[in-house]
Amino acid sequence: MSKKVLILPGDGIGPEIVREARKVLSCVNSQFDLGLEIDEQLVGGAAIDATGKPLPDETLAAARAADAILLGAVGGPKWDSIPDFAIRPEKGLLGIRSALGLFGNLRPAILYPQLAHASSLKPEVVAGLDILIVRELTGGIYFGQPRGVRIKEGGVREGFNTYVYDENEIRRIGRVAFEAARARNKRLCSVDKANVLEVTVLWREVMIELSAEYPDVELSHMYVDNAAMQLVRAPKQFDVMVTGNMFGDILSDAAAMLTGSIGMLPSASLDVNGKGMYEPCHGSAPDIAGQGIANPLATILSVAMMLRYSLAAPEAADKIEAAVSQVLDQNLRTADIMSAGMQAASTSEMGDAVLRAL
Amino acid sequence: MSKKVLILPGDGIGPEIVREARKVLSCVNSQFDLGLEIDEQLVGGAAIDATGKPLPDETLAAARAADAILLGAVGGPKWDSIPDFAIRPEKGLLGIRSALGLFGNLRPAILYPQLAHASSLKPEVVAGLDILIVRELTGGIYFGQPRGVRIKEGGVREGFNTYVYDENEIRRIGRVAFEAARARNKRLCSVDKANVLEVTVLWREVMIELSAEYPDVELSHMYVDNAAMQLVRAPKQFDVMVTGNMFGDILSDAAAMLTGSIGMLPSASLDVNGKGMYEPCHGSAPDIAGQGIANPLATILSVAMMLRYSLAAPEAADKIEAAVSQVLDQNLRTADIMSAGMQAASTSEMGDAVLRAL
Ligand SMILES: CC(C)[C@H](C(=O)O)[C@@H](O)C(=O)O
Ligand SMILES: CC(C)[C@H](C(=O)O)[C@@H](O)C(=O)O
C-alpha cells in the first residue's frame, strides 16, 4: 500500500525551502521505488489569508490521513497584530501537534565539521558536538488550562497560563528519551526546575521511577537555569536531554545556535506509533522571504529524518544525508553559512546540488 | 541615623565568600565613615539545620529591619531529599524576596577585559559585552496559585503551577527596566512568548503602553526562544532586557555564562524604595564548599552594588570596583578564572588583595 506524505509549506521562507525538499523527496521516491503519494496543503498565515483559519479542516484531515508530514515554517509580522489569539499562524502548528498527538519532539544539535567556523563558540568547545534534545510537545504550559486574560476587581487586567503535566505524559516522553539515549551514548539529562515548581518535582520523580527500567542508561538531573549555562559553557558534556514543552523550546533553540548553523538542523515530532511531522529547527525568517537566499538543507535533512522514522526507508535517508555532506564538501554555501573561500549558492542552487549528488 | 546591613551567608561556598565580602564592607565602612551596623543571620539549609526552617522568624525580622541585605547562596544536595516542599533552602531565598517585595532583579552580564579568554565564545563575539537583564522577581510562575501535585481520577498524579501577572506587576518592573535603559544606551528588549502564552500577550501590551512614557528609549520585543539564540549568536546586540521571573532565571544565567566568569557577577534585588538584597549570580557550589577556592569577587562586587543602590555611598562603590579591577590587573586569579601565566589565589587571598587595593 502506498504511503502518503503531506507537505505544508507555511509562511515566510517556508515555500522556498520546501520546494527544494520536495524535489529531493520526489527524487528518492523514484530512485528507491517508495511509492509515496505527495499532497500539499495550507497552514499558518498562508491558510489565514486564504481561508481565515490557521488550520483549515481540509489541512487537518489531510494531516490525519498522512503517514508523515513535512512542514516549512509558520508565522510572520503580517499576522502578529491579529487581535483574536485563536487566529494566529502558530495556532496552525500547535493545532496539528495537538490533534495528531505528536508529543515526542526530537531536536538534534549537530555541528557539521565543514561548518565548524560558523559557531560563535570557540572551536574546541563545539567541535564534534552531537547532542539530542527530546522535548515534550503536546502538553505543559503550551496547552494547560485555565488560560487567558481576565479583568480582576478594580478593572485590573491579569494574564494567566497553567503549567501542568500528569505522570502518564511524563512517562511517555521519558520513554522516548531513555530509548534514544540507549541507542546513543546512554546518558540522559532530565531538565527541570524542581527547586521551585511542583509540576517539575513530579517530572523528576517519574523520570527516577522510569530509570529502573533502563539500568543501562545513566540518568542525571539539572535545573533549567544551570542547563542553559552548561550549554553555553561545555555543551559536549551532554548526550540526550529531556524536558517539557516550554523549557525544551528555549534550550533546543539555544543548543541549535551553538552550532552556528541553525539552517542545517532538522527536527521530528512523533506520535506513539512513529507517525510524525518533520520541520527545520529554524523559523519562517520573514525578513529574507522570497529572496531565494534561504538555506534549504535543514528541510532537506528533515526529509531524511522522515524517511528514517516514519517511512521505513533508512537507505534513502542515508543517501540524502550523504548528499548533503557531499555538497558541503564541494564548498557550496547559502548566505547563512557563507565564509571566505566558499562558493555562494541560492536556495534553488543548493537544492539542485543535492539532487545532483543523489 | 546609622544604617543596618544584614548578612546572610547561607550554604555551600556562601560562608567563605561572604566572609571576604564582609571584610571589604567593614573596610569601606570605616574609610568612608558610613556608620553601618552589620548583623548576620541564618538562611537556607544552614537555617534548616539549626532551626528546622529555611527562613526563621528572627532572620525575616532582621531582614525587614535592614536597609540592605548581602546574601551568599543557598541550597545543596544535603537538603534536596527533604520531602516537604516548604522546607527547602530555596524557600528561604524566595521567602525573603516575596516578604520584602524585592521585585526588581538587576543582573548585569559584563565581560572584564582581563578575563576575555575565560569565555567559551569567540573573543570578537563577547569583547566589551555589557548587558543588563532586568528580571521580575516576586511574581510569575514562581509564586502563582494554584500550585501543587494532586491525584486525579484513576489515581494518576498530576503536577501544576500557574504563570500569572497582572498589569500592575508588569508596569512596575517595566518602569525599572525603562529607567535602567534610559541611564544606559536607551535600548530595551522585552522578552516574552506572546505567540503562545496569554500571560505574555498582556506583558507585551503593557510594555507597549508604558513605552509612551519613555519616548527616548527604543523598545523591541523578542520571543524567549529567539532571545536564548540571540544571546548565543550575538549578545552585544542587547543593551537592557526585561522579562518575567522564569524566563529571567534562564536567560540571566545564560547571559552570565557568556562571560565565562560567572564568579565575577553581582546582582541586586530591589523593592519600590530602593531597599535591596545583593548576591552573586552564581550558586552555592556545594562541590567546592569548604575548600577555600571559591571566587569571592562576585560577592564583593555585590557589596559595591549595595553601596550604590541602597546605601547612598557611590564613592565607596566606585572604590571597591576599582580595587577589584586592580587585583585582576595584578594577575591574581581564583581557580574558576585561572589561566596560563596568572597567579593562583585562594578565596581569602583574593579578599585580602582587594583589601590591600582599598
Ligand atoms: C512557532 C512556535 C509556536 C514554536 C514553539 O514555540 O513551539 C516554535 O518556536 C518551535 O519551537 O517549534
Ligand atoms: C535558587 C533558586 C530558587 C533561584 C531562582 O530560581 O530564582 C536562583 O536560581 C536564582 O536565579 O537566584
CATH, residue A322: 3.40.718.10
In a domain, residue B254? The reply is no
- CA dist., res. B219 & res. B217, Å (int): 6
Question: Are A146 and A68 part of one and the same domain?
Answer: no
| Total number of domains in chain B | 2
Residue A162 in contact with partner chain B when CB distance is under 8 A: yes
Q: Which of A163, A191, A251, A282 is the best substitution to test chain B (most B C-beta atoms within 10 A)?
A: A163
- Reply yes or no on whether the pLDDT at B189 is more than 90: yes
- Is residue B86 very low, low, confident or very high in pLDDT (cuts 50, 70, 90)? confident
Residue B168 in contact with partner chain A when CB distance is under 8 A: yes
Q: Is A196 in the pocket of ligand 2 (CB under 6 A)?
A: yes
- Reply yes or no on whether the pLDDT at A1 is more than 80: no
> If you ran DSSP here, which 8-state letter would residue A196 be given?
T
- Is residue A320 very low, low, confident or very high in pLDDT (cuts 50, 70, 90)? very high
Amino acid at A86: A
Question: Are B234 and B322 part of one and the same domain?
Answer: no
Question: Are A234 and A299 part of one and the same domain?
Answer: no
- Reply yes or no on whether the pLDDT at B280 is more than 80: yes
Question: Are A339 and A286 part of one and the same domain?
Answer: yes
The percent of residues in chain A predicted with pLDDT above 70, rounded, is 100
In a domain, residue A134? The reply is no
Residue A64 vs residue A84, higher pLDDT:
A64
Indicate the residue among B192, B213, B243 that finishes a domain.
B243
Indicate the residue among A215, A243, A271 that finishes a domain.
A243
- pLDDT tens digits along A165-210: 999 999 999 999 999 999 999 999 999 999 999 999 999 999 999 9
- Is residue A84 very low, low, confident or very high in pLDDT (cuts 50, 70, 90)? confident
Neighbours of A113 (CB within 10 A): 11
- CA dist., res. B276 & res. A62, Å (int): 57
Ligand 2 nearest-atom number relative to CA B75: 1
**Full residue range of the structural domain in which residue B21 is found:** 1-114+259-358
Neighbours of B50 (CB within 10 A): 10
Cell, residue A37:
503519494
- Is residue A161 very low, low, confident or very high in pLDDT (cuts 50, 70, 90)? very high
- CA dist., res. A76 & res. B195, Å (int): 11
- Reply yes or no on whether the pLDDT at B115 is more than 90: yes
Residue B41 is predicted with a pLDDT of: 98
Indicate the residue among A243, A274, A306 that finishes a domain.
A243
- Reply yes or no on whether the pLDDT at A237 is more than 90: yes
In a domain, residue B290? The reply is yes
Question: Are B73 and B159 part of one and the same domain?
Answer: no
- Reply yes or no on whether the pLDDT at A249 is more than 90: yes
- Is residue B223 very low, low, confident or very high in pLDDT (cuts 50, 70, 90)? very high
Determine whether the interchain pair A163/B162 forms a contact, defined as Cβ–Cβ distance below 8 Å. yes
Residue B89 is predicted with a pLDDT of: 93
Average pLDDT over residues B177-188: 97
Cα A44–Cα A46–Cα A48 angle in degrees, nearest 5: 70
- CA dist., res. A8 & res. A31, Å (int): 23
In a domain, residue A252? The reply is no
Residue A86 is predicted with a pLDDT of: 86
Question: Closest partner residue to B199 among A161, A229, A257, by Cβ?
Answer: A161
Q: Which residues of B touch A201 (CB under 8 A)?
A: 85, 149, 159
**Residue B317: Cβ-neighbour burial (10 angstroms; 0-12, 13-18, 19+):** buried
- Is residue B108 very low, low, confident or very high in pLDDT (cuts 50, 70, 90)? very high
Domain of B177, CATH number, reads 3.40.50
Question: Are B194 and B149 part of one and the same domain?
Answer: yes
Nearest chain B Cα distance for residue A146, angstroms: 9
In a domain, residue B107? The reply is yes
Residue A47 in contact with partner chain B when CB distance is under 8 A: no
* Contact present, A111 and A130 (Cβ < 8 Å): yes
Question: Are A216 and A267 part of one and the same domain?
Answer: no
Question: Are A349 and A278 part of one and the same domain?
Answer: yes
Neighbours of B287 (CB within 10 A): 10
* Cα B37 from chain centroid (whole Å): 23
In a domain, residue A120? The reply is no
Average pLDDT, rounded, for chain A = 96
> If you ran DSSP here, which 8-state letter would residue A337 be given?
G
Residue B82 is predicted with a pLDDT of: 84
In a domain, residue B250? The reply is no
In a domain, residue A36? The reply is yes
Determine whether the interchain pair B160/A156 forms a contact, defined as Cβ–Cβ distance below 8 Å. no
Question: Are A103 and A149 part of one and the same domain?
Answer: no
Average pLDDT over residues B143-157: 97
Question: Are A288 and A343 part of one and the same domain?
Answer: yes
Cα B347–Cα B352–Cα B358 angle in degrees, nearest 5: 135
